[in-house]
Every structure is written in structure tokens, then in C-alpha cells.
Amino acid sequence: MKTYDIEEQVNNIKKLSAYNVVEISDIDELSAKAAILEHKKTKARIFALLTDDNNKVFTIGFRTPSKDSTGVAHILEHSVLCGSKKFPAKDPFVELVKGSLNTFLNAITYPDKTVYPIASCNDKDFDNLMEVYLDAVFYPNVYTEPKIFKQEGWHYEVVDENGNPDENGNIILNGVVYNEMKGAFSAADSVLERSITKTLFEGHSYGEESGGDPDVIPTLTYENFLDMHSKYYHPSNSYIYLYGDMDVAEKLDRIDKEYLDKFEYKFVDSKIEEVKPLESVRERNFEYPITENQNEENATYLSWNTLVGGELDPTVYMGFQILEYVLIDAPGAPLMQALIDAGIGEDVYGGYANGIYVPYFGVTAKNSNLDRKPEFLAVIEGTLRKLAYEGLDKEAIKAAINVFEFKAREADYGSYPKGLMYGLSSFDSWLYDADPTMHLRFENIFKTLREEVENGYFESLIKKHLLDNKNTAIVTMTPKGTYH
């Protein structure tokens, strides 16, 4: 098995005439060399991690902010994998799943981006997967086959009571994404999550449902669907990530000649807009469906959430993940324990929701009652205030730092290739025009956090971001029967 010399790779990358080298640097934590490039003609962004890891990863992503809740980004993510110029098969994705030696193969829609990652240890398989995905995103069959939009998005059908075609039957809505989101919107936890973001980010693209709201999906037209692709699925709005033991220069040369060079540069207005601060604490009540067999008593969700940011501050970004563990996730965590001891809900959960431009921190009590809301809020504020001013358990914080540092060093992500996870982590800064290596260079982050434990750093996070912060949404969700 060939292992590519990294210094030789760097020299070959520098010789690529189609790209400008922005920066090449070592990431000691990953035993990798990082290369950041820009495609000269289209301004496509490139990030490569040169390592000796045989489990190679390729990802292409696009910034895709949602303007509404039609789920167009989600429908497009499904649709581009339904055949392309070079691979006209009806469903190449299914064929790949059946015949590929991949270690990862998927496509993911986020609130502000859509990514297409693949991974494989086999060189030929990796090249094939990469080509299928590149052809799918740049030359999909959606322009010549409207039925793809109907199949993956939504369409009307006339069926009998058993769901079989019958011209005398009932008219129903159908579609892969429509049905998927209908299922998601029937799950209470999912409805709550959407209610929280809708409240926190009212008037912002994050307040829309990128996956698609079943009530809104049928308003999406084929023309608007195609507009989404032609606007955002362009090299000038693309992020291309490569990782592992491969000839990166050869891959980049091929990506240029077969795809990027076929396009001209165009300005794509996909920038994630600033989130406007809330003028005061925002309170909203939502309803969620229950079946006639479910009891409405003790079935209310109480949720407190606040915008904290930190996506482009690696110390705050990691600090809040550690704070989540200390306050909520660890055995006997004080915020979790205080709510459980008060008997406010049957289950308590929460944490730091990142991966977006402005992350938020939240706590939810499940299976509670609406009249417990004042007590719920009082316990949260009282507990946080006590911890902020009397101090957190320093040993608990140090133990939490050790947990996260060990995980970062071991790079054990279960069945997910570590190169895949590094790539997804890079998007947490790269997508917002910041350094893609920001969250991968963890050595100094943990060093700083460990040094700051005794200086009240974590207490200051609580004071500044959780207590003295009007950017807060209090969301309650009450049951409404009957859901069939």
C-alpha cells in the first residue's frame, strides 16, 4: 500500500497552476499538514489535510441559507443524487450503497449549509465516489427530469383507502421529503427543537425550517427549486475538503479540469446574516399533537434557551461544551440535579447547540405542567447564580476538561471516520469566512481552559452569557389531541 510523502505532496500542490495557495501549515494535534487553497477562476475554497490515514475523505459543501420553510435545500440534497450527466442511472446513490466499499456515504442538510461527504479506504472506490458526487452536485438531472422534484419533494396522488392508485379515490400529498418531515413533525422533541429556533431566530434564516415544514413544502414550485440549485450549487459558493493518504495534487488537478474550470466566477450572495439581538426575553407557547390514548396531564415541555455565540472563538466554543458537561451531562451535574430534585419534569436535558453562526445554550424539562413554569425558571436562575458567584466545583471542571481532551487526542468517533469528523468540524468556522483549522488546533485551547479554571473563567461564562443576557427565549409546548 503506497504512502505518499507529505513534503513531496506540498511541493506538488504549490505547482498547481489552477489554484492559489493561501496557507500551508502543520497541525501537530492531528499529525497532519493543512493546505488551504483557492481556485483561481471560480474562487472555490479548498481545504486539504495531508496525513498517512488510509481512510480517505472527500466532502463538497455549499452555503445554503433558508429563505423560507419549503425545505428546498433538503429536497435538493435528495434530488441531485437521482442521476446526473455522467451517471444517468435513476438512483446512483442506492447503487453506490449496494456496490461501494465506502466507510461513509451520505448527504446532510443543515440550517445554513448542505454537505456531501464520502469516505473509503479503497483508492478506486474513493475516486469513483468523488466523481459521482461532483457530477451530481454540478450536473444533476433535475433540469431535464421534473419528475425528480415531484418524487423527492411533493406531488398529488389519487389513491384508495389502502394507498393503491385509484382514479375514484382520495387525493393525497406524497413525496420522500414531505413524508420524512411529516414524521419528524409528529415527534414532540423535534417539534420543540423547531419551536426553540423559530423563537430565538425570528426573522432570521435560522428561524426557518431548512428540512421543510409539511404545511409549507407544497408551496414550493419546480421553478424555485431549480433557482436554488442554479444560485447556490456553483463552484464560487463551494467548499471542497480532502483528507488522508492520497495524491492531493492529482485530485485537485482532476477536480479543476473536469468540473471547476467549466464554470466562470460569479458572485453568490449566500452570506449568513447577523443575528439581531433580542430587545427583551421572548416567551412563546406552541402546541404539539398527541394521540387519543395519551394523557394531556404532565405532558408539557418547559424550555429555557439563550444565544451565547462562540462559533468563531475556539476557547468559548470548547468552553461551552465543557460547561454543558459540568452543568447538565455529568453524574450529579448541579443544574440537572436541581431541576430533578424540584420534581419539575420527568426528564431534564439540554446543552450547547453549535454548528451554526450563533450557537445557543438551553435546558428543557419534559413531561411537566404549564403551572410549573415560574418554578422552572426560578430554579435555573437560582442555581446558575449560586454557581456563578459561589463557584463551580473546580475538580469537576478539570475532570470535564480531561474528558474532552482525551476524546480529542484519541479521535475515537465510533463508526465515523475521524477525517470525516475533522472536515465537519472545519465547517464550523470555514463556512463563516474564518480559518478552517480553528477548532482542530486544540492543544492551546485546553491549555488555556485548564489555566483559567482557577481564575473563574467558567463562572464568567455563566455570568456573561447565561445570566446577564436578554437574548433569551422561554418556550413552552403543550399537548393538543388528537393526532392519528
Domains of the chain: which residue ranges? Answer: 6-149+221-262, 282-481
Contact 29, 443 (CB under 8 A): yes
180 is annotated as an active-site residue = no
Q: Give the pLDDT confidence of 283-338 residue by residue, as tens digits.
A: 999 999 887 777 778 899 999 999 998 789 999 999 999 999 999 999 999 999 99
Q: Please identify which of the residues 23, 131, 152, 283 carries the catalytic annotation.
A: 152
| Beta strands at 45-50 and 238-244: parallel, antiparallel or unpaired | parallel
Q: Cell 483557492 identifies what position?
A: 38
The CATH number corresponding to 282-481 among 3.30.565.10, 3.40.50.1370, 3.30.830.10, 3.90.870.10 equals 3.30.830.10
- CA separation (Å) from 312 to 30, 63, 252? 20, 17, 28
Is a pLDDT exceeding 60 seen at residue 433?
yes
Instruction: Please state, for a pLDDT cut of 70, what percent of the chain lies above it.
Output: 99
Q: Which CATH architecture has domain 6-149+221-262?
A: 2-Layer Sandwich (3.30)
Nine cell digits for residue 80: 441531485
pTM: 0.95
One fold for both 6-149+221-262 and 282-481? yes
Average pLDDT over residues 442-463: 97
Considering Cα of 420, then 425, then 429, then 431, what sign does the dihedral take? positive
95 is annotated as an active-site residue = no
Q: Please identify which of the residues 8, 23, 29, 77 carries the catalytic annotation.
A: 77
| Beta strands at 155-159 and 472-481: parallel, antiparallel or unpaired | unpaired
Confidence of residue 484 (pLDDT cuts 50, 70, 90): very low
Average pLDDT over residues 242-251: 98
Average pLDDT over residues 359-381: 97
Is a pLDDT exceeding 50 seen at residue 145?
yes
Confidence of residue 216 (pLDDT cuts 50, 70, 90): very high
Average pLDDT over residues 199-227: 97
pLDDT of 481 reads 63
The Cα angle at residue 436 between residues 434 and 439, in degrees rounded to 5:
100
